[in-house]
Chains A and B, each alone.
Chain A
Amino acid sequence: MPESVAHEAGSGVYRARGITKNYGPVAVLRGIDVTLEPGCVHTMMGENGAGKSTLFKVMAGLVRPNGGTLAIDGDAVSFAAPHEAHARGIYLVPQEPALMPELTVAETMFVGQLPTTTGLVKRIDWRAMRSRARAALDTLSLDIDVGALSRSLSIAQQQQIECAKALLRGCRVILFDEPTSPLTTHEVEHLFATMRHLRDEGYTLAFISHRMDEVLEISDHVSVLRDGMLVDSVARPQFDRTRLLSRMVGREMRTIPRRSWSCATDQPALVVKGLAHGSRFADVGFTLHRGEILGLAGLVGAGRTEIAETIFGLRARDSGSVTLAGEDISTLQTHAIIERGLVYAPEDRARHGAVLPMTIAQNVTSGLISRVRSRLGLMDHADEDRIGAETVRRYRVRCAGTDQTLRELSGGNQQKVVFGKWMGLSPSVAILDEPTRGVDVGAKDEIYALIEELAREGMAILVISSEMEELVRLCDRILSVYEGRIVAELSGEAITPERVGRSYLGHAEAQDGVEVAA
């Protein structure tokens, strides 16, 4: 391993051409062309799942593309691992920095290329390591003790350490994967100061963010990705907030069919008031009515899942109340909340909802074992099969029989079984977190129909979804969550993809046209 892998610095023009990436049948990147220039901050914008992070991972050697070429200063490059990209001067500052909690800051910075003494016995040259680490931190004006353990660092500091690691490795191209989302305003300013400093030194920087204000502040060039394609690319003089937003949402020409009927009543089923927890979310309040489908819109990480988990008794809260059918349930444990008629179908089906190696019948009855008839304390398997068969019929699960294991079913059919399991409890309120994740397009419509049917029967339903189409199609009313707060409420005609998109992309947009919830 070389003492230092600093390459003779080229100008640092990093060009990607026709980059494609598929995960199985799913195309994440479909032919991206992008060029990063030295002395320039190039920002990638786009909605969840647009492919921004994947693009960065391809460019930094963490993910191998299916097609396309990369070239640094005109030399074609391809990477089998990130350290090969480092050697060519390309460094990715990940969203979650790669921490070595038990090692010192200095050693974390040098991991993989610790300096050694020359001589017969090569031992680690701690002194050189510390002074070089100190120098790199000083370059970035970072006041971090190189002898401290890494685990004592804040996330902001960890990101700064990653920047310093890029400098130590002589990298000229630094990619930042959504660095600002875990940071406070003050920390973002500090990060931007660092980025500006590097840019002025002629480094090539690329940046991912959802936050329009930030993007307009720091960027010299903005590219917009949507569904794995580059849909817009503009230089600073041509920045236009409205144009970028509509490019991101990208459905201004399309209308999503909304159902003409609503069976929402004015009888409150679930009332949430002033719910707050630490820095995750605050002042969350809403009323969900019987027969209503209420959507929670927002970016991944906005705090929607945390809010749902808190309502369901899975997380602690600092303050606030949750009332179900007139009864305060905020101090109850989850099993007691389920008994009172509230269920939560989490987004990660494989981990929390479905037991893949078990049969359909077993899965359906796993939530309601006590309702299966038993004889002398032994479960009556015929009754279990009967309940399973009922679910299969009612929710139109396509399967060979109730004794099939869930693993053999498609994502959509698995989700129907999970629905059947929860609905077997006849809840009055259901919270559905990403109900169609991993479900193919055809099966989505069936699941929407099921949700609508449940609403017609009077169930109150809260849908958390990152899919615009799903929210617009399903919901009677939509609440937009931004950084743990409800920032807008839309209902009826106001529910259009563009308005929903604008409302959850940030406060700034709430002002031009969208109502802010009181």
Chain B
Amino acid sequence: MNLEILLILTPAFPLLSFPLSLFFGKRTPGQGAVFGILSSLASLITSTYLFFFAGKPISFEKEWIPGFTSGLYLDELSSVMLMIVSGISLLVNVYSLGYMHGEEGLPRYYGELSLFTGSMLVLVLAKDFLILFVSWELVGLCSYLLIGFWYKREEVAKAAKKAFVVTRFGDSFMLLGIILMYVSNGTLDLVEINSHAREMSSLLIALLLFSGAIGKSAQVPLLGWLWDAMEGPTTVSCLIHSATMVKAGVYLVARLFPYFSESGALPVVAYFGAFTAIVSATMALVEWDIKRVLAFSTISQLGYMFLALGVGSYESSISHLISHSSFKALLFLGAGSVIHAVGSRDMRSMGGLLKAMPITSTGMLIGVLSLSGIPPFSGYFSKEAVMHSVMENGNILLYSIGTLTAFLTAFYSLRMWILTFLGPTKKEIKESPSVMTLPIIVLMVSTATLGLFIHSGGGTPYPLLLAIAGLILSYRYHNAFLRAGPLSTLLSKRYFLDELYDLIGNCFFSAGKALDLLDRQGIDGTVNWISSSTLNIGDKIRRLQTGEIQLYLLLIVIGALVLLIMTW
């Protein structure tokens, strides 16, 4: 079969499913789920085929505007991403059958999921910045729409808005970078940029592009939106805010890796990643919301990926991306299963679910161990690979941050598991239906076996040792950080990050108000004063026109006399 056709079909299936489920969803089984499941299954099949049979990079190009060609491009990186996106999309669509059962507006939900899947696939396949940016914004839009699925609740609408605005803030810098790229190099073609990275490299453009990645992948300082995004359905958090969309930033840097390394932006990427990893890991220590713990861990693991990219290890970053997609999707689906059963996201109302939910608890345990980097699960191998490359890079600071984060990760993730599944039973509940446990089982298997395909490099025992220490400590003192006084306040307020956002926002708002005053009172005031005084003078002078003909005559005579005197 012609591979180029498959290349187009892969994103075309879900993109086609979007209008179908939106308009005909009400009349089909599962309120549109059938389109979502079938299209993502079709995409999964084509992307698997492409993964195994493409062999060498293939591209499809067409002239859009005369002189500007645009198209799709597939290499190893994008074919891996294709499989992750379509695979997790399929699992989430199936899982939604149980999780979202009986919700209102399901055709909209499935339609938006399909639109998201399609745009994410296009993003991954983009050959040039134009398509990349369009799909980049489309996934942002879908993220906004899906976070705001229960838009009637105010905090949901606010969270959706926040996610959109904050990521958009990063995107505007990215757009600037793209424009600069075109102006200075005359091309937007990613492949061409990479092959001429040395001549085209510019630190400024690389940093601007990285700003877009920061917004999308929730790195410091644009990370606040991701934990608020947990207001959306858990399925959405799983698909968009852990497994796929937030990886777009990592993907962008990975896609332009030659460019970033030539332009010297990689150390910046590394420090941002490391800092984010540890900052968000500490926030998770005192969190009570199960989904937010997972959100913090997502941010933290994304930090690891940027760290790996920053120290120049492209492969370890991508392997961590792959294994993280698997175990984080597993954790989110497990958390969704718990939330579905308990009816709350607060871990204080959970506890003792181990016996009632055997599949979910086993899945979550595997996810937690994988997240903590415990062998033989996939997270161990990929984290080892990341830490190995950091050690090879020789930067002690980055290495110790990464190791410390490994400890914190193990601590908070086991804390989450203990609070959810151990302790006294608070509610009588049952295991979730099989449409929900089946995806969990699939992800359990993949999380347990993916490690076989990852070459870790090995040789750095400290992260593993500290992770085990973290697990043991967490088992004994899982709420230790809650009793830490001012530290716990600082952590549970999330370093006052939202307040900082507000402060910055208010500064700009006040500056805007001052400018507004200057505009309205100063500039407009002058203009208005000129016009109103002209009107006033005109009104005064108008009274001279009395209609008395003899007065006019008198004025004529006086005028003539004045002229006469002047000419004398």
User: Are A and B genuine complex partners?
Assistant: no
